Structures are given as C-alpha cells and as structure tokens.
Amino acid sequence: MPAHSIDHAFMANRNTGRSSDPTYAGALSFMRRRYTKSLKGTDAVVWGIPFDAAVTNRSGARFGPQAIRRASAIFDCDPQYPFHLDLFDQLGVIDYGDCLLDSGNHQKTPGAIEREASKILKSGAFLLTLGGDHFVTWPVLKAHAAIHGPLAMVQFDAHQDTWPDDGKRIDHGSFVARAVREGVIDPDRSIQIGIRTHAPDTFGIKILYGHEVEEMRASDIAYAIAERTGGKKTYVTFDIDCLDPAYAPGTGTPVAGGPSTAKILSVLRQMTQIDIVGADVVEVAPAYDHADITAIAGATVAMHYLGLLAEKKARETA
C-alpha cells in the first residue's frame, strides 16, 4: 500500500519529495509534481504551452503538454534511470500548469508567452517548457536572453527552422533565423543535431546532419556539443521530430532517417558539462501517436533535463 495519500499533484505540501501515486491513477501533473503558481522554494518549473497555430503540416501539438504529462506517470517513485538517484530528494520542482492564450488572436501569443516566461525566470528557477509547436521556443528564448544575454543553442531537430522571416510571422519554421538576426542566440556557439532537410541559410550554426549522427557515437555527439557551446550559457530545444518516425510517429512533420530514442537519450545523459539555463520539448502531437511512443519519448527527454539538474545540485551540496 502507498505510504501517503493519492493525488500528490494536489496533496503535496512541498516541492521536494517523491510521490506514491500508482502509475495508473492519480492527478497527472508532470512526474506527479505539485501543481502551484507559487515559485517560492523552487529549483525548476515545468510549464506547458498548448499552441500549434504555427505549424506548416499537421496540427495537434497543442495537446502535447497533456500527452507528455500523462506519459510521465510511468516514472514512479523509484530512483530514475540512468541517474541512480531520486530526482526530487533535493531538487524542488513544480508543475506550473499551462500558459493561457487567446485562441482567436494569435498575434498576442508571443507577448503572452514571453511575459509569463519572464515572470517565472525572475524567480531564479530553471524553466522546462512543454510544447506546443516549435514557434513557442521563440518567445521563451527571448525571455532567457533578456536575463543571460545572447545564448548558445543546442537544437535537436529534423529541420533547421531558418526559413525567411519578416519578424512578425507566427511560423514554427523560422524562429531560429529570427533569433540570430535579433541577437537572441549566438550562431557561433550554436549547434543543430539530426537535421534531415535543407533550408536556404544556416546562419553559421554548426549542423550535424542525420546521416552524420547515424555514423557517430553518442559520446562523440556530446563532445561536439560541448566543444561548440564552449562553456557559454545554453538553451536546449528538443523538437521530437529529431527522432526517426519509428520512435516518434506522433508529430506534425515527421522525417525519415533519424536517430533512435536510445541514442539521443545517451547524448543528453552525457551533456553534464553544458551550462544549460533553460530547455524545452516541443512538437509532440498525440493524435498521430501509437501506444504513447512519442509522448513517452518526450517525457523521457524532459526527465533527463531534470536528472542533469538534480545531479548538478547534488554535486554542489555534497
């Protein structure tokens, strides 16, 4: 029998500590974290942005935050693989819920996202965002850059997202071009992993194409990321279509020839030397998923971000 009451997401009275909810029941926050808008005593905030009006192919990523939260229930109260520790023993994490957006006025969306992200970041907490389509990364990046200055960016993706942009478009395929032009990211310290399409301009960002990733070891990919970011404060954005459709069918713009979930998780696990100041998982579209394959992959990527944070805090407090 569980040692505590069910529905940890509502019943918890602190931001640390494990849940005892059974995998198949209970309130579905991300990894059963406490639902709250209070940022006091918080190391990391999980926040959903249910927006997909910027897609150029199949819509449905607005349901991504729900799907990722649901899939995260598979992470029970045991120490999380491959980190060998209870992530929430010392790391205070909350689920902040979702961003409220006006579905009838998309031009207000970027400002609404940026304002809410800025509010969270002012608390000093790490922000882990669940998308939504990849456009949502743009205002979140702006909020981070307002604090840290131009960021290194690590982008796991099948697409470069550097298509022409007039600075006003609501488009998930051009946010990187805008981020470079407006000085939000430093292209000389940025890298894209898993690219399997061509765009008109690279903007000087280093690319590891899908066929190169296939031939490389995970450790070599992690080394290339560390070398490129060079110790600079880094934002990590993970478009789930970085993975081959065999491992992530539930996405709006799938591209064949991508890496496996296992390989990319191994890369993330080895990113211990990267100064990650913010991260996201985007483009999970559960309507096209099978048996939660994609949602589980997205939830596991998000869990790895928290695992790296928990390890870092454990080292600092040892």
Residue 1 forms part of a structural domain: no
Q: How far apart are CA 28 and CA 9, in angstroms?
A: 7
Number of domains in the chain: 1
Residue 223 forms part of a structural domain: yes
Domain that residue 161 falls in: 8-317
**Model-level pTM?**
0.96
**Helix, strand or coil for residue 122?**
coil
Q: Which tokens go with 11?
A: 């019943």
Check which CATH number belongs to the domain holding 239 and give it.
3.40.800.10
Residue 73 forms part of a structural domain: yes
Q: What pLDDT, on a 0 to 100 scale, did the predictor assign at position 1?
A: 38
Question: What is the per-residue pLDDT across 189-241, written as a single tens digit (0 to 9) for each?
Answer: 999 999 999 999 999 999 999 999 999 999 999 999 999 999 999 999 999 99
Q: Which tokens go with 66?
A: 């729900």
Q: Annotated binding residue at 201?
A: no
**Burial grade of 4 (CB within 10 A; 0-12, 13-18, 19 or more):** middle
Q: How far apart are CA 130 and CA 128, in angstroms?
A: 7
DSSP state of 32: G
- Main-chain phi, psi angles of 234, to 5 degrees: -125, 140
Q: Annotated binding residue at 186?
A: no
**Helix, strand or coil for residue 191?**
strand
Residue 236 forms part of a structural domain: yes
Question: What is the per-residue pLDDT across 229-261, written as a single tens digit (0 to 9) for each?
Answer: 999 999 999 999 999 999 999 999 999 999 999
DSSP per residue, 57-119: S---GGGHHHHHHHHGGGS-SSPBTTTTB-TTTT--EEEEEE----TT-GGGHHHHHHHHHHH
| pLDDT more than 90, % of the chain | 85
CB 57 within 8 A of CB 253: yes
Q: Annotated binding residue at 133?
A: no
Residue 3 forms part of a structural domain: no
